[in-house]
Amino acid sequence: MNAILVVGTLDTKLAELEYVRDLIAARGLDVVMVDVGTSGPESPGDVTPADVAACHPEGATAVESSDRGEAVGAMAIALEHYVSSHKADIAGIIGAGGSGGTALVTPAMRALSVGVPKVMVSTVASANVAPYVGPADIAMMYSVTDVAGLNRISRQVLGNAANAIAGMVGHRVPPSEGDLPAIGLSMFGVTTPLVTSLVESLQDRYDPLVFHATGTGGQSMEKLVDSGMIEAVLDMTTTEIADLLVGGVFSAGPDRMGAIARTGVPYVGSCGALDMVNFGGIDTVPAEFSERLLHVHNPQVTLMRTTPAENTQFGEFIAEKLNQCPGPVRFLLPEGGVSIIDAPDQPFYDPEADEALFAAIEAGVETSDRRKVVRVPYNINDPEFAAAALAHLDEVMS
């Protein structure tokens, strides 16, 4: 059996992590203690800080810094590389720590595939955990008391965490023999009719996995692509690119579409919801955009119509990403509008802005037999557009 990694700074959390290790080992599971401390005496870990530091891409000396913040940051990079290079030997991973320990351990957890058990006991788990969890399936458990010694509370919390990961590893969810090939689809409220139609048409042949394009949704879809758990992508809703480049709240970061390039997965994409940048309530829209065309989607979400200049930026970003893709690619341009509110008599209808987007994509993409840009004379939510997307999916899958 592969081992469960118990990871933390043994120079400050030795008693707590040994307690976790012993509980897991008592379940008959193999355990490896990984020490990522950046100071202190000789390490008691099975894997020492020196072992981890040697995995830093700039060498072990990169972790040697008198500045604690720099040393911890470098050790986090080294640990991520250590875990990435030992994936085949890792049955699960558990850590415990404060904000620094959480920031050190969770990037390595995110490097593991979805489905590999991951538990982090943390003093910051009752706050905003998005920076730590990202698109990964990390179970965050609030420590209640500080991770600073064993007491009646910490023994209970750490014990529950140890038993949780032991249960996850010892009782794996068996794979389903009847699973169909998985297809990733990106969706937003304004592209729901399209994606609903696609799911209905696909479900007899594929297992459609729909991701809400709210930043983390796009990251999660691409995390599964990187993990080899999605066999093709119908990326109909690329609105996260608009939020990245203009400053909205639903950015998936600059690596959006990066997994498509890294893996060469068959890909059919489109411009869904690139007519909008997303903000919170109307009072959260930055002052610099106060004169722009705004649409209140609901009390918590305000949409801002994108301009021709911004759409040109989006098109250039998309073209650059598509040019990096070695696999079969089709990118569809819905000439009738890119969302349900980008249509005649709807608030965001702006053919000039859409054309700026389409022209930039066509000008930037290096087309070939495997990489094509296709204009479709319909709104993205029209049944004819769904039919075109399905036809091109069949092409790239063959």
Domain with residue 249: its CATH number is: 3.40.50.12030
In a domain? residue 104: yes
Longest dimension (CA), the chain: 71
Answer whether 1's CB lies under 8 Å from 28's CB: no
Structure tokens of 94?
Answer: 């558990």
Of 148 and 230, which is predicted with more confidence?
Answer: 230
Rounded distance between C-alpha atoms, residue 242 and residue 356, angstroms: 14
CATH number at residue 14: 3.40.50.12020
Residues 23 and 137 reside in one and the same domain = yes
Answer whether 275's CB lies under 8 Å from 306's CB: yes
Average pLDDT estimate for 157-185:
92
Residues 156 and 274 reside in one and the same domain = no
Own/partner pairs, 373-378, CB within 8 angstroms, 24+ separation: 373/330, 373/331, 373/333, 374/330, 374/331, 374/332, 374/333, 375/332, 375/333, 375/335, 376/332, 376/333, 376/334, 376/335, 377/335, 377/336, 378/334, 378/335, 378/336
Residue 40 clears pLDDT 80, i.e. is over it: no
Residues 117 and 26 reside in one and the same domain = yes
Residues 232 and 118 reside in one and the same domain = no
Of 130-134, 207-211, 237-241, 349-353, minimum mean pLDDT range: 130-134
Residue 283 clears pLDDT 70, i.e. is over it: yes
Residues 68 and 211 reside in one and the same domain = no
What pLDDT is stored for residue 318 in this prediction?
A: 98
Residue ending a domain, choose from 170, 198, 216? 170
What pLDDT is stored for residue 64 in this prediction?
A: 84
Q: How confident is the model at residue 41 (pLDDT cuts 50, 70, 90)?
A: low
Residue 69 clears pLDDT 90, i.e. is over it: no
Residue 173 clears pLDDT 90, i.e. is over it: no
In what order do the strands lie in the sheet containing 31-35?
31-35, 3-8, 90-97, 118-122, 139-142
In a domain? residue 84: yes
Rounded distance between C-alpha atoms, residue 162 and residue 151, angstroms: 16
In a domain? residue 176: no
Residues 101 and 211 reside in one and the same domain = no
Rounded distance between C-alpha atoms, residue 114 and residue 131, angstroms: 17
Average pLDDT estimate for 281-286:
94
Residue 369 clears pLDDT 60, i.e. is over it: yes
Q: How confident is the model at residue 178 (pLDDT cuts 50, 70, 90)?
A: confident
In a domain? residue 68: yes
Residues 87 and 204 reside in one and the same domain = no
Residues 10 and 140 reside in one and the same domain = yes
In a domain? residue 177: no
Residues 246 and 389 reside in one and the same domain = yes
Judged on CB neighbours under 10 Å (0-12, 13-18, 19+), 142 is middle
301-356: pLDDT as tens digits: 999 999 999 999 999 999 999 999 999 999 999 999 999 999 999 999 999 999 99
What angle in degrees, to the nearest 10, is found between the helix axes of 10-25 and 152-170?
50
Q: How confident is the model at residue 179 (pLDDT cuts 50, 70, 90)?
A: confident
Residue ending a domain, choose from 170, 195, 230? 170
Q: What one-letter code names the amino acid at 6?
A: V
Average pLDDT estimate for 356-366:
98
* 134 alpha-carbon distance from chain centroid: 6
In a domain? residue 175: no
What pLDDT is stored for residue 316 in this prediction?
A: 98
Task: Compute the mean pLDDT over every residue in the chain, rounded to the nearest whole number.
Answer: 95
Average pLDDT estimate for 178-189:
93
Residues 77 and 189 reside in one and the same domain = no
Residue ending a domain, choose from 137, 170, 203? 170
Q: How confident is the model at residue 176 (pLDDT cuts 50, 70, 90)?
A: confident
Question: What does residue 77 show for φ and ψ, rounded to 5 degrees?
Answer: -65, -45
Give which of 277, 276, 261 is closest to 320, Cα–Cα. Answer: 261
What pLDDT is stored for residue 108 in this prediction?
A: 97
Q: Residue 371: give the domain boundaries.
A: 182-397
Residue 71 clears pLDDT 90, i.e. is over it: no
> How many domains does the chain divide into?
2
In a domain? residue 149: yes
Residues 188 and 164 reside in one and the same domain = no
What pLDDT is stored for residue 66 in this prediction?
A: 75
What pLDDT is stored for residue 148 in this prediction?
A: 86
Q: Is the dihedral of CA 191, 345, 376, 201 positive or negative?
A: positive
Residues 118 and 219 reside in one and the same domain = no
In a domain? residue 375: yes
Rounded distance between C-alpha atoms, residue 9 and residue 24, angstroms: 18
What pLDDT is stored for residue 297 in this prediction?
A: 87
What pLDDT is stored for residue 36 in this prediction?
A: 95
Please state the length of the chain.
Answer: 398
Percentage of residues in the chain with pLDDT exceeding 70? 99
